[in-house]
Amino acid sequence: MSRSAHPAGPRHADVLPEGHYSAPPADLNSLDPKVWSRTVTRDDLGVVTVGGIDVKTLAEEHGTPAYVLDEADFRDRARAWRTAFGTEADVFYAGKAFLSRAVVRWLHEEGLNLDVCSGGELATALSAGMPADRIAFHGNNKSSEEIERAVRAGVGRIVLDSFQEIVRVAHIAQSLGRRQRVQIRVTVGVEAHTHEFIATAHEDQKFGIPLAGGQAAEAVRRALRLDGLELIGIHSHIGSQIFDMSGFEVAAHRVVGLLKDIRDEHGVELPEIDLGGGLGIAYTSDDDPREPHEIAKALTEIVTRECESARLRTPRISVEPGRAIVGPTAFTLYEVGTVKPLDGLRTYVSVDGGMSDNIRTALYDAEYSVALVSRVSDAAPMLARVVGKHCESGDIVVKDAFLPSDLAPGDLIAVPATGAYCRSMASNYNHVLRPPVVAVREGEARVIVRRETEEDLLRLDVG
Ligand SMILES: *Cc1c(COP(=O)(O)O)cnc(C)c1O
């Protein structure tokens, strides 16, 4: 089953990939609907608008950098996932991709459930009124305090990640007079990323309990014996930014194999299977993600087929998309500060943010696209690298991109598909202030996470 090696590969920060940038897009002013949120367009003056508001107005009123989130698009995507899986399955939005109270309310209204993996995420979810029974609690090292809070709140499930945690959660639940619904997270030996997956017998990572060596079966044995736990299913999460469904096929095959063993040994058919998240989105025009209904169909078929051949009742499926819902719904709006052409190489375009608002390029070698959004331009394309303002040469936002050669300080540029893992991973490196998240919808802009202030920074510094 093994395909090619994991593609993280060597970093070619200084060597441009062959042929990658050889063809600038035919029209630098065009906005590929694959990578921009759905209400994005240019107005008659050539200024980009989103949710009916132009970016110049947004920049004037909210400053830059700013994450601009298209609420209608978010709701559409959340609803599309919900509808695609129907009433036969549950969709849990992975809060770590981006969580705020407004987002929690939208999810609640659109009928989605929510994954959290820390006390802070749980607090955000509960404070915005997400019913506790629609929350799943994840993590490989939840503290006893976090577990107690989750059990007290009545979360729908806790996903157990280790032998110690099985006992810990059981003990806490029992001491509170509760029986906590739990799933066991297993590692099935599949690591999937984009177009590749690796299938092995073992998996070398911190999450989950390995199927290999009968460890997961032993975890099930122990969980079934403890009064404080109600074991409802098995959980598996195989990777991120996945386009190829065949990794899920191998994972489902192996999880169903465990369900079959459980039936044979204990006479119980666990009612649920969670296949995790990790579905890919388009960061550039080269990416071709699948629609939720295609993914739902593929996953449902895989699980049904595997269960039929194992003669098991098909369990209730759940999935946990994070990036695939919020990723495409936001862009980061920056103002250009300096434009520095390096002869024969490229032009460095410095913006007023950087690795503090988008660490993914530095951390994962992620690719992004970028466009001039405050005006249109007929100037020839120039090969550019968009960099931030941090004291660090790896502070790159967009590694290779074409921008118009008349780009100048004061222009606004935007990087699309920054809804996931940008604000949620933002830092205060260099004591830079984290940008706001501005939600736009039908001509109205609303700050849902405000910009950090120097006062915020100094409040934590108690001298
Ligand atoms: C990160 C994570 C997700 C969401 O991943 P995406 O790539 O954002 O879809 C879902 N489930 C678990 C257990 C995760 O750790």
Arithmetic mean of pLDDT, 244-264: 96
Predicted confidence at residue 203, as pLDDT, reads: 82
Is the pLDDT at 1 greater than 60, yes or no?
no
Residue 25: pLDDT band by 50, 70, 90 thresholds? confident
Which positions are annotated as active-site residues? 391
| CA 71 – ligand 1 centroid, Å | 21
Is the pLDDT at 156 greater than 80, yes or no?
yes
Determine which residue's CA is closest to atom 3 belonging to ligand 1. Answer: 277
Ligand 1 and 276: CB distance under 6 A: yes
Ligand 1 and 39: CB distance under 6 A: no
Portion of the chain with pLDDT greater than 70, in percent: 95
Give the start-to-end residue ranges of the domains of the chain: 22-70+328-460, 138-321
Predicted confidence at residue 297, as pLDDT, reads: 96
Ligand 1 and 321: CB distance under 6 A: yes
Is the pLDDT at 17 greater than 70, yes or no?
no
Predicted confidence at residue 22, as pLDDT, reads: 60
Predicted confidence at residue 371, as pLDDT, reads: 98
Instruction: Please check if 46 is assigned to a binding site.
Output: no
Give the tens place of pLDDT for each residue, 79-132: 999 999 998 899 999 999 999 999 999 999 999 999 999 999 999 999 999 999
Ligand 1 and 279: CB distance under 6 A: yes
| CA 279 – ligand 1 centroid, Å | 9
Arithmetic mean of pLDDT, 202-208: 89
pTM recorded for the entire structure: 0.94
Ligand 1 and 277: CB distance under 6 A: yes
| CA 240 – ligand 1 centroid, Å | 7
Residue 409: pLDDT band by 50, 70, 90 thresholds? very high
Give the tens place of pLDDT for each residue, 128-146: 999 999 999 999 999 999 9
Give the tens place of pLDDT for each residue, 306-352: 999 999 999 999 999 999 999 999 999 999 999 999 999 999 999 99
Predicted confidence at residue 7, as pLDDT, reads: 39
Instruction: Please check if 316 is assigned to a binding site.
Output: no
Residue 10: pLDDT band by 50, 70, 90 thresholds? very low
Strands 89-94 and 113-116: what pairing?
A: parallel
| CA 323 – ligand 1 centroid, Å | 8
CATH class assigned to 138-321: alpha beta
Is the pLDDT at 183 greater than 60, yes or no?
yes
Which of 240, 245, 423 most suits a substitution to test ligand 1, by most atoms within 8 Å of the C-beta?
A: 240
Angle CA 181–187–192, to nearest 5: 120
Arithmetic mean of pLDDT, 144-156: 98
The ligand 1 atom nearest the CA atom of 239: 7
Which of 237, 238, 283 most suits a substitution to test ligand 1, by most atoms within 8 Å of the C-beta?
A: 237
Ligand 1 and 254: CB distance under 6 A: no
Ligand 1 and 121: CB distance under 6 A: no
Predicted confidence at residue 204, as pLDDT, reads: 87
Is the pLDDT at 14 greater than 70, yes or no?
no
SS3 string of the chain?
Answer: CCCCCCCCCCCCCCCCCCCCCCCCCCCCCCCCCCCCCCCCEECCCCCEEECCEEHHHHHHHHCCCEEEEEHHHHHHHHHHHHHHHHHHEEEEEECCCCCCHHHHHHHHHCCCEEEECCHHHHHHHHHCCCCHHHEEECCCCCCHHHHHHHHHHCCCEEEECCHHHHHHHHHHHHHCCCCEEEEEEEECCEEEEECEEEECCCCCCCCCEECHHHHHHHHHHHHHHCCCEEEEEEECCCEEEECCCHHHHHHHHHHHHHHHHHHHHHCCCCCEEECCCCECCCCCCCCCCCCHHHHHHHHHHHHHHHHHHHCCCCCEEEECCCHHHHHHHEEEEEEEEEEEEECCCEEEEEECCCCCCCCHHHHHCCCCCCEECCCCCCCCEEEEEEECCCCCCCCEEEEEEEEECCCCCCCEEEEECCCCCCHHHCCCHHHCCCCCEEEEECCEEEEEECCCCHHHHHHHCCC
Predicted confidence at residue 88, as pLDDT, reads: 84
Predicted confidence at residue 20, as pLDDT, reads: 53
Predicted confidence at residue 12, as pLDDT, reads: 38
Give the tens place of pLDDT for each residue, 54-68: 999 999 999 999 999
CATH class assigned to 22-70+328-460: mainly beta
Arithmetic mean of pLDDT, 167-189: 98
Predicted confidence at residue 9, as pLDDT, reads: 38
Determine which residue's CA is closest to atom 10 belonging to ligand 1. Answer: 277
Predicted confidence at residue 130, as pLDDT, reads: 98
What integer best gives the mean pLDDT of the chain?
94
